[in-house]
């Protein structure tokens, strides 16, 4: 049976206006024009210096694009995007109270108008935006465990604003970057990181042998900090770790922690 979970910590931004596609394409890492009925796009917005600012799923809904993002970040994303509107024919609106966000995995989704496979990974399942209340049979914690086992980030705290590089967080392997779409804000550092092989840290799933401490807790190897814990659920977590420490014995609050690299992750070592 398919697992259906309501994700109340996710919100939705509507982007309307004749320039909506061109406007977003100049600001995000993926090709917005690829969003279509039944097809979502995962993209990030970067700082001018090329660091992570926000990420979202982009849904196509006829005369508007819908950005599904962490609900706590919706106001900030609208504010950031608004700074770059200038004379573009674009209107931004928070429609989180109109559309609820659901995740579906381990089976087919219900028939909802705005449904798309998770563009990052087939095993992740589906994303749904629904104006109607669906009956879940799982909760957000179950979905968190599912995505963590797959190594999929979910905004902060997995991704740190003004710090994380896209390639550290798997955006290349997980279809979050289009290398041929043209310029966008922060592109230069992202391209340089890829073509010079400068990825020295990676966000990876880890199994915990004790209770999960708070996000940001240091992961140690030989007494030295080699990374930090990010989000966690049900004995599994994501940690941003130095690539050269992945095969070392690691400790988190004195308890062993073990990286479990997913099959999609490519290490350039």
pLDDT the model gives residue 210: 85
pLDDT value of residue 244: 95
CB 193 within 8 A of CB 199: yes
**Which residues of the chain are under the pLDDT cut of 50?**
none
Query: Cα–Cα–Cα angle for 226, 204, 242, nearest 5°?
Result: 25
Answer whether 222's CB lies under 8 Å from 248's CB: yes
User: Would you state the pLDDT for residue 195?
Assistant: 87
Instruction: State whether CATH 1.20.1250.20 applies to domain 200-264.
Output: no
Same topology, domains 3-150 and 200-264? Answer is: no
Task: Identify whether the C-beta of residue 216 lies closer than 8 Å to the C-beta of residue 157.
Answer: yes
What is the tens place of the pLDDT at every residue in 167-192? 999 999 999 999 998 899 999 999 99
> Where do the domains of the chain lie?
3-150, 200-264
Architecture in CATH for domain 3-150: 2-Layer Sandwich (3.30)
b/e 204-228 (16+ beta carbons within 10 angstroms → b): bbbebeeebeebebebbbeeeebbb
Specify the pLDDT at position 261. 96
Cα 127 to the chain's mean position, in Å? 13
User: What's residue 30's pLDDT?
Assistant: 98
């Amino acid at each position: 049976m398919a697992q259906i979970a309501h994700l109340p910590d996710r919100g939705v931004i509507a982007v309307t206006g004749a320039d909506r596609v061109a406007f977003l394409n100049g600001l995000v890492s993926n090709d917005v024009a690829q969003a279509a009925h039944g097809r979502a796009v995962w993209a990030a917005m970067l700082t001018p210096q090329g660091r992570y600012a926000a990420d979202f799923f982009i849904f196509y809904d006829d005369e508007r694009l819908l950005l599904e993002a962490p609900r706590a970040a919706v106001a900030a994303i609208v504010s950031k995007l608004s700074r770059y509107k200038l004379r573009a024919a674009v209107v931004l609106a928070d429609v989180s109270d109109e559309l609820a966000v659901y995740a579906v995995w381990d089976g087919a989704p219900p028939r909802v108008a705005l449904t798309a496979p998770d563009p990052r990974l087939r095993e992740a399942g589906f994303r749904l935006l629904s104006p109607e209340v669906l009956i879940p049979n799982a909760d957000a914690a179950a979905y968190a465990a599912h995505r963590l086992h797959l190594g999929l980030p979910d905004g902060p705290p997995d991704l740190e604003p003004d710090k994380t590089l896209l390639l550290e967080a798997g955006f290349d392997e997980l279809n979050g970057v289009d290398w041929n779409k043209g310029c966008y804000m922060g592109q230069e550092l992202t391209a340089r990181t890829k073509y010079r092989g400068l990825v020295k840290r990676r966000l990876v799933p880890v199994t915990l042998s004790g209770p999960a401490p708070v996000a940001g807790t240091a992961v140690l190897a030989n007494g030295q900090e080699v990374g930090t814990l990010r989000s966690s659920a049900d004995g599994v977590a994501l940690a941003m770790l130095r690539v050269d420490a992945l095969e070392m014995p690691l400790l988190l609050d004195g308890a062993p922690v073990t990286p479990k690299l997913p099959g999609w992750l490519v290490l350039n070592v």
